Amino acid sequence: MSTPTGFMEYKRELPADRDPLERIKDWEEFHKHLSEDQLRTQGARCMDCGTPYCHTGMELNGSVLGCPVHNLIPEWNNLIYRGLWREALDRLHKTNNFPEFTGSVCPAPCEGSCTVGLIGEPVTIKTIEKAIIDRGFEEGWVVPDPPKKRTGKRVAIVGSGPAGLACAAQLNKAGHTVTVYERADRIGGLLTYGIPTMKLDKKVVQRRVDLLAAEGVQFVTNTEIGKDIPAQQLLDEFDAVVLCGGATKARDVDIEGRELGGIYMAMDYLNSTIKSYLDSGLADGNYISAKDKTSSSSAAAIPEPTASQRRCATAANRSRNSARMPRRRLRATRSRTRGRSSRTSIRSIMPRKRPKRCSGKIRGRSPC
Ligand SMILES: Cc1cc2nc3c(=O)[nH]c(=O)nc-3n(C[C@H](O)[C@H](O)[C@H](O)COP(=O)(O)OP(=O)(O)OC[C@H]3O[C@@H](n4cnc5c(N)ncnc54)[C@H](O)[C@@H]3O)c2cc1C
Ligand code: SF4
């Protein structure tokens, strides 16, 4: 244990975020770092529990408890408290191939399971994890570590998201010869083309891809298995094939207004924006912009809503808002409206006339 009473003496601290007025000027990450002293103090809050729930990754009633990769959290909390950063990095890498990704974007079920959280605020586990790996890269401790011996077995991995990359890292470490196939033009799956850059800098993804390549993993981009290369060919040429294709099929919603212009699936938006940003710093204009709903640069690719769609969308919004408002106001003013029925109150607030210019039903199926 770092200090027996650390969790009572010190408060939880998180790194500050960049000033919003500053960070809207670029697409860089917006979390800052804690100082080394602050991190040491945060490490001191860990009780080194006999049963560390933070580390015990398990599923209970559909919820994840603790760290899914079983990070040795109490150990590296203590090492940080003692200033042993290199040792902390080694412990972190024992269970986690990519702490720089998890330290940035993991939802941190470890913190939700931390025992200190029962009576106060949990230990800042994720911040410490990120600090350890960032320091590891800064100090030059994270270097390619190719296997000493190769097994002679060849493995193909389809898909280069975090699942494919972790699989490649482990199999390569075991000495197998690994080739990763990716249909996109860049490696990383949703790490590259899903999670926005302000949450995960793409240079951080590329840095890890370069390390894996230096350790002997081969990457083949712009190649869709099943289209550019038949699946049978992989089965014939490799000793094993691992499918890590993610879930490209989006889950659409069947709700009123979905057919209107200017509504996109999140991945269409993110994919186009991140690709344009990485290719040309957004100069090529090949992205969906939320500015004025559609950007002039991408207007050709993105259908503008028709005049009738716009009118109906406005009318439907107005109608929805006016129907919701009385209920909200009624809840707040129930005591004041005693003696009047809800129906009377609603009528007094509802617009008397239908919004103009919409030829169809307002809340039902409109012709647009
Ligand atoms: C906007 C967004 C934000 C997110 N934020 C977070 C977050 O903050 N924290 C978090 O933990 N998770 C987050 N996630 C979820 C996380 O990104 C996914 O759970 C994770 O990327 C899944 O990894 P994967 O390797 O299984 O699949 P993917 O990352 O989807 O990778 C699959 C890859 O396989 C490739 N592929 C598919 N079929 C073929 C084929 N036939 N041939 C060749 N290649 C193929 C695809 O092109 C893709 O690159 C986020 C997801 C999105 C979309
Ligand atoms: S549950 Fe919290 S206090 Fe206990 S070992 Fe894990 S991080 Fe430390």
Domain ranges of the chain: 6-138, 154-243
Task: Please tell me if the domain spanning 6-138 has the same topology as the one spanning 154-243.
Answer: no
- Categorize the per-residue pLDDT at 4 as very low, low, confident or very high, splitting at 50, 70 and 90: confident
Looking at residues 115-144, what average pLDDT do you find? 96
Specify the ligand 2 atom closest to the Cα of 53. 1
Q: With a 6 A CB cut-off, is 103 part of the ligand 1 pocket?
A: no
Protein residue with its CA nearest to atom 1 in ligand 2 = 114
**Over 60: is that where the pLDDT of 309 sits?**
no
% of residues, the chain, pLDDT over 90: 68
**Best residue among 8, 9, 54 to mutate for probing ligand 2, ranked by most atoms within 8 Å of CB:** 54
Looking at residues 189-196, what average pLDDT do you find? 96
In angstroms, the CA 315 to CA 309 distance is 10
Looking at residues 193-209, what average pLDDT do you find? 95
Q: With a 6 A CB cut-off, is 189 part of the ligand 1 pocket?
A: yes
pLDDT tens-digit map of 224-238: 999 999 999 999 999
* Cross-strand bridge partners of residue 180: 157, 219
Average the pLDDT over each of 89-98, 193-202, 318-327 and give the range with the smallest value.
318-327
Whole-number Å distance, alpha carbon 334 to ligand 2 midpoint, is 47
Secondary-structure class of domain 6-138 per CATH: mainly alpha
**Over 50: is that where the pLDDT of 317 sits?**
no
Specify the ligand 1 atom closest to the Cα of 164. 25
What is the pLDDT, as a whole number, of residue 290?
Answer: 75
- End-to-end CA separation in angstroms for the chain: 65
Strands, E assignment, the chain: 58-60, 63-65, 154-158, 177-181, 218-220, 240-243
Whole-number Å distance, alpha carbon 17 to ligand 2 midpoint, is 25
Whole-number Å distance, alpha carbon 64 to ligand 1 midpoint, is 19
Protein residue with its CA nearest to atom 48 in ligand 1 = 189
Whole-number Å distance, alpha carbon 164 to ligand 1 midpoint, is 10
CA atoms within 13 A on the CB side of 32: 14
Choose between 117 and 299: higher pLDDT: 117
What is the pLDDT, as a whole number, of residue 277?
Answer: 94
Average the pLDDT over each of 12-26, 71-85, 154-168, 303-317 and give the range with the smallest value.
303-317
DSSP 66: S
CATH fold, domain 154-243, is FAD/NAD(P)-binding domain (3.50.50)
Whole-number Å distance, alpha carbon 185 to ligand 1 midpoint, is 14
Q: What is the dihedral of CA 325, 331, 337, 341, to 10 degrees?
A: 80
In angstroms, the CA 332 to CA 329 distance is 5
- Categorize the per-residue pLDDT at 336 as very low, low, confident or very high, splitting at 50, 70 and 90: very low
pLDDT tens-digit map of 57-80: 898 888 889 999 999 999 999 999
Q: Is this structure's pTM higher than 0.75?
A: yes
Whole-number Å distance, alpha carbon 3 to ligand 2 midpoint, is 13
What is the pLDDT, as a whole number, of residue 363?
Answer: 35
**Over 60: is that where the pLDDT of 295 sits?**
no
Taking the alpha carbons of 144, 101, 127, 67 in that order, is the dihedral positive or negative?
A: negative
pLDDT tens-digit map of 256-286: 999 988 888 999 999 999 999 999 999 999 9
The mean of the pLDDT values for the chain is 83
Q: What is the dihedral of CA 191, 192, 197, 203, to 10 degrees?
A: 100
In angstroms, the CA 324 to CA 277 distance is 40
What is the pLDDT, as a whole number, of residue 63?
Answer: 84
